[in-house]
Chains A and B, each alone.
Chain A
Amino acid sequence: MESGNQIVEEPIIEVQGLLTKFDDHVIHENLDLSVKRGEVLGIVGGSGTGKSVLLRTILGLKSPDGGNIRVFGKDLEMLPEDERRAQERRWGVLFQEGALFSALTVAQNVQVAYREHLHMGQKLMDELAAVKIAMVGLRSGAADLFPSELSGGMKKRAGLARALALDPEILFLDEPTAGLDPIGAAAFDELITDLAHTLGLTVVMVTHDLDTLYATCDRIAVLAERRVILIGTIDDMLQSEHPWIREYFHGPRARAAFAGK
């Protein structure tokens, strides 16, 4: 894997004909999505259209009711337990609410993967945790705080530090910049872009933040009517005639975000 943001045309995630439902409530039907290795993909859609559920399904936290999902070319449902675990180590996830372990400090949250998977020595763990914590823009004093002592934005950053612990190949982010101040959000965008470029990281992020979409995403997938109705670049979005997409990308907020870019 070389540096530079070369997008290889081989899908790292492939979702075909996905059906998900809760009892009779169908969330996705016939949903197709393919994510290329090395790209930053943004997923947009109205509240409650099932963006979080889609992420959870790709991650194997909810099993699909139909269709199939292949990540790294393998169907998670079919994998034996140990291969499945190995696969899970190759991605990092930032949940919408952070989902930090409340009984552990921020540093310990980051170190969980080192301790459990790599049996790393305490000294190196402390150093690497401090590096990650500094990288996501938390001050070093935050390392010894418990999640309940953090602000909403700090929880997000701590969650990202934990997701990045093992330098994963795919990073899933659920609304990473929600709750961050604009300066922090911009730094976050820059961080994601840098990581994607230097580590060859593939990023799948759900976001409502138009600035983030513009600044970081190579492609955008629009979720509506229970499926991905359009996937493409910002320009594709701007040219689409679909009413929801028009409203989203031509609304007053969008105009402000894209002004001058």
Chain B
Amino acid sequence: MAEASGAQGPSGQGAAASYAVIDRVGGFTFRPAGDWSVTPILAIDDDLRAFVAAKPVGESAVFDMSALIRLDTAGAWLIDRTVASLEAQGVKVSYEGLKEGHKILLDKVGEGGVPKPTVPERSSLYVEVVGRIGAAVVAMGLETLTFVEFLGHVLATIWRSIRHPSRFRLTPLVHHMEKAGFDALPLVCLLTFLIGAVIAQQGATQLRRFGADVFTVNLIAIIFLREVGILLTAIIVAGRSGSAFTAEIGSMKMREEIDAMRTLGLDPMDMLVVPRVLALLFTMPLLAFIGDIMGLIGGGVVAVMQLNMSPAVYIERLRAAADFWTFGVGLLKAPFMAIVIALVGCRAGLDVTGSAESVGTQTTSSVVRSIFLVIILDAIFAMFFTAVGI
């Protein structure tokens, strides 16, 4: 003899779920009672599992369903599961007082069979660690390959657009030039101005100790024109436009818009990728140029205020400190960085799979990857320029 009952569900529908097990000659009677719907049954689920696991003795069991007030698919599943486990233990089960509606429900639920729990395979820590490292290395290799392939594909498409100018999309190009270039101006100007001022201020404080504070101007000119101006611009563009490229293309990919384009005979490369790459290619050098100027102005403001230098003297000293190549070395990097940022952004967008989550992951990785590559590229350029002596 066993009994269990569950509390009334929070939705307050009907009575609680309960069941009674009554011994009988040759077996037992199982009598569910009350409201066996999804909320109340939660309270008896564990009891019922324990009851079955204890292997109740008897050759036959009668399920007396007459006291059951309400049954839904969740409750039906509990009964069906119990019956199936009992039968697996060799107990013959029969129903009594089963209503027609409940019978249909039990049949419906039983059709699927008892689900097999899926246990994920677990390997040892050692295998796991080595496996992950290996997978990461392989993934990185593949990524490099696909990136180079993508670069080739984009260059081929651009070459084709040059030969057949009618394929070229001017409107999106102008649109992206405005969004990625023109709209980025205020941010680029403000940040380069501030960093220029900060470098000048810090430089002046340190150099004053040696009485060399006039060389602050050289410091600003070299460090800003060669390195900081372009790096800062590239990082801003990667964060602003690279991420936007990924999110735009990614959500189009997710909604099958890119597939739709293909079926209409439109090449997503022509429509989406090339305009974005060219837009950055054209606007990044300009942005970097303006960034350089703003940095120099920021440095100049500090020089004038802190070093009591007149603007004319500041410009004079700038001229002496920086020649054409100081400027050129910085700006020369701009188109390369632009291509890297645009390619990484577009590629990440096209790599989006069906889920909304993957748009987020790809956007993050696009920004991280393009900033990483920009800095690597900068280091390579530094080595190159040192080698050729400019």
| Given A126-B115, A127-B115, also A149-B42 (CB < 8 A) | no
Instruction: Write out the residue numbers on chain B whose beta carbons fall within 8 Å of the beta carbon of A146.
Output: 354-355
Q: Are A3 and B77 in contact (CB under 8 A)?
A: no
Comparing A13-21, A193-201, A219-227, A238-246, the segment that makes contact with chain B is A193-201
| Given A102-B356, A102-B357, A103-B355, also A197-B42 (CB < 8 A) | no
Instruction: Write out the residue numbers on chain A whose beta carbons fall within 8 Å of the beta carbon of B74.
Output: 128, 131, 167
Q: Contact mask A238-259 → B, CB, 8 Å, 1/0?
A: 0000000000000000000000
- Nearest B residue to A104, CB-CB: B355
Instruction: Write out the residue numbers on chain A whose beta carbons fall within 8 Å of the beta carbon of B118.
Output: 144
Q: Contact mask B249-260 → A, CB, 8 Å, 1/0?
A: 000001000000
| B135: min CB distance to chain A, Å | 20
Instruction: Write out the residue numbers on chain A whose beta carbons fall within 8 Å of the beta carbon of B111.
Output: 134-135
| Given A103-B355, A167-B73, also A135-B112 (CB < 8 A) | yes
Q: Are B115 and A148 in contact (CB under 8 A)?
A: no
Instruction: Write out the residue numbers on chain A whose beta carbons fall within 8 Å of the beta carbon of B113.
Output: 134
Comparing B96-104, B215-223, B283-291, B316-324, the segment that makes contact with chain A is B96-104
Instruction: Write out the residue numbers on chain A whose beta carbons fall within 8 Å of the beta carbon of B100.
Output: 3-4
B272 within 8 Å of A (CB atoms): no
| B109: min CB distance to chain A, Å | 5
A61 within 8 Å of B (CB atoms): no
Q: Are B11 and A198 in contact (CB under 8 A)?
A: no
A8 within 8 Å of B (CB atoms): no
| Given A140-B115, A166-B38, also A103-B357 (CB < 8 A) | yes
B59 within 8 Å of A (CB atoms): no
Closest 9 CB pairs of A and B: A148-B354, A3-B101, A134-B112, A130-B115, A102-B355, A167-B72, A103-B357, A198-B105, A198-B101
The interface of chain A, by Cβ under 8 A from chain B, is 1-4, 86, 89-90, 102-103, 114, 118, 120-121, 123-124, 126-128, 130-135, 140, 144, 146-149, 164, 166-167, 194, 197-199
5 residue pairs from A and B, CB less than 8 Å apart: A102-B254, A118-B39, A131-B73, A131-B115, A135-B109
